Amino acid sequence: MTAAIAGIGYTPFSAQAGRSVLDLAAEACQAALDDAGLPATEVDGLGSFMVMHDSVPCQAVATTLGIGELRLSLDLDLGGQAPCHLVSLASAAITAGLADSVLVFRAMKGRSGNRVGAMSFAGGGGQYRYPIGYGAYMMYIGMWAQRFLYETGQGEEDLAAIVLAQREYAAANERAYRRRLITEEEYYQAPYVVEPFRAADCTVEVDGACAVLVTSLDRARALRHPPAVIAAAGYSAGPRSGLDIGDHLLWADYSRNYTHLLAPRLYRAAGLGPADIQMAEIYDCFSSTVMMALEGLGLCGRGESGGFARGGGTRLDGRLPVNTHGGLLCEGYLHGMNTVAEAALQVQGRGGDRQAPRHETCIVTSGALMDGSGMILTADR
């Protein structure tokens, strides 16, 4: 049995929600149900994730929504690797008969509450990172970006092209937190936060929640909107992926992330190749991860993603529109849950002013470094 995404829900994204994470979670989940036209009593599964206990357990959300018996509850202790992973697990659970309809959500006060940028990940790898002053997440991704750009012969002008294209999308997205267009000059005027990242290369942390409803394709067909079919989904953690969530010290090659391991599996399961992919929603806590994924997924040759973006390839009228919501860089850092939601909206043809012209196949990623997940959504054919 194939599964599909049938409903999408959001709260507004803000700097200070002024209410509880549980309230945000329930609102986004209820919005996803209303969007699909499915009553909460029909839901029997929930999935979510949290970093350093910054969110609420599925059980609490189920109780708040008035869901009856919960048959599937997935609380993952993960960050941005989780959204496609959860959709994949929900899809597998539905196929296996463990659940009928599963809400996957992320709720957090990522700006006014616990900010990932300020967290210490005191796991097994922390003892090596923190004593040398190597402690913030953007430093890790910055290190990878430097290596990636060096190895592939690319540079800051390529990061700028990614950022400027996503800003244009955000201008057409009223949900986006950062909607102001910037010029290339403005981009370069901002100082480095961590080399090679300037402010515009970094995601914007927000308070908010986002949810998608996963159900069987048969049921999705009976709901309000056309289904976004989950043609392939999976998770990958490469060998030596570390001792804790931030530990990349044992990873062999900082110029390649999990996407190059995951890509063949996704294409195999979907029966598609990179040439068949019409658009992409790529996890972008920082701009460099878009380039790494475009190359890791075979959508661009190695060392060619920057030129592709500079040539307009990722824009709405380009060969492969990428991050049509403006990405996490602009819409807000819901740890990639909103990347999944945007992909589903686009495949359903509900992208509004930023709708990609060809939207029958969309590849989606979650995660930036050693481990992550991805999926291919297709129109119902």
Q: How far is the CB of 255 from another protein (least distance, A)?
A: 10
Q: Of 31-39, 155-163, 203-211, 298-306, which segment contacts another protein by CB under 8 A?
A: 298-306
Residues 6+ apart with CB under 8 A from 324: 169, 279, 281, 316, 342, 346, 351, 354, 355, 356
User: Which contiguous run of DSSP H or E holds residue 343?
Assistant: helix 337-347
Going 295 to 301 to 305 to 308, the CA torsion angle's sign is negative
Q: Does 152 bind another protein (CB under 8 A)?
A: yes
Q: Which of residues 253-272 bind another protein (CB under 8 A)?
A: 260, 263-268, 270-272
Give the Cβ contact number of residue 192 at 10 Å: 12
Instruction: Select 76 or 379, whichever has its Cβ closest to another protein.
Output: 379
Q: Does 298 bind another protein (CB under 8 A)?
A: yes
Instruction: Select 196 or 298, whichever has its Cβ closest to another protein.
Output: 298
Q: Residue 50 and residue 46: Cα distance in Å, rounded?
A: 14
Instruction: Tell me the site size for another protein, rule CB under 8 A.
Output: 22
Q: Which of 124, 301, 311, 357 binds another protein (CB under 8 A)?
A: 301
Q: Does 311 bind another protein (CB under 8 A)?
A: no
Q: Which of residues 276-295 bind another protein (CB under 8 A)?
A: 276
Catalytic pick among 10, 137, 187, 283? 283
Chain-centroid distance of CA 106 in Å reads 11
Q: How far is the CB of 302 from another protein (least distance, A)?
A: 4
Q: How far is the CB of 268 from another protein (least distance, A)?
A: 4
Q: Residue 201 and residue 314: Cα distance in Å, rounded?
A: 16
Instruction: Select 187 or 267, whichever has its Cβ closest to another protein.
Output: 267
For 142, 208, 322, the CA distances from 259, given in Å and listed in that order, are 18, 27, 16
State the number of CA atoms in the 13 A half-sphere of 185 facing the CB. Answer: 0
DSSP-assigned letters across all residues of 205-272:
--EEEEEEEEEEHHHHHTSSS--EEEEEEEEEE-TT--SSTT--TT-S-TT--THHHHHHHHHHHHT-
Instruction: Select 139 or 217, whichever has its Cβ closest to another protein.
Output: 217
Q: Which of 71, 115, 221, 302 binds another protein (CB under 8 A)?
A: 302
Q: How far is the CB of 307 from another protein (least distance, A)?
A: 9
User: Which contiguous run of DSSP H or E holds residue 29?
Assistant: helix 21-36
The 154-193 contact track toward another protein, x by CB under 8 A, reads x---------------------------------------
DSSP-assigned letters across all residues of 78-105:
-STTHHHHHHHHHHHHHHTTS-SEEEEE
Instruction: Select 97 or 311, whichever has its Cβ closest to another protein.
Output: 311
E strand spans, 62-187: 72-76, 101-109
Instruction: Select 203 or 305, whichever has its Cβ closest to another protein.
Output: 305
Closest CA to 244 of 333, 162, 121: 121
Q: Which of 44, 304, 331, 342 binds another protein (CB under 8 A)?
A: 304
- Check if 333 is active-site: yes
Q: Residue 92 and residue 236: Cα distance in Å, rounded?
A: 16
Q: Which of 37, 66, 273, 352 binds another protein (CB under 8 A)?
A: 273
Q: How far is the CB of 153 from another protein (least distance, A)?
A: 5
Q: Does 360 bind another protein (CB under 8 A)?
A: no
Residues composing the chain: 381
Instruction: Select 260 or 335, whichever has its Cβ closest to another protein.
Output: 260
Residues belonging to the active site? 283, 333
- Give the binding site for another protein (CB under 8 A): 152-154, 260, 263-268, 270-276, 298, 301-304
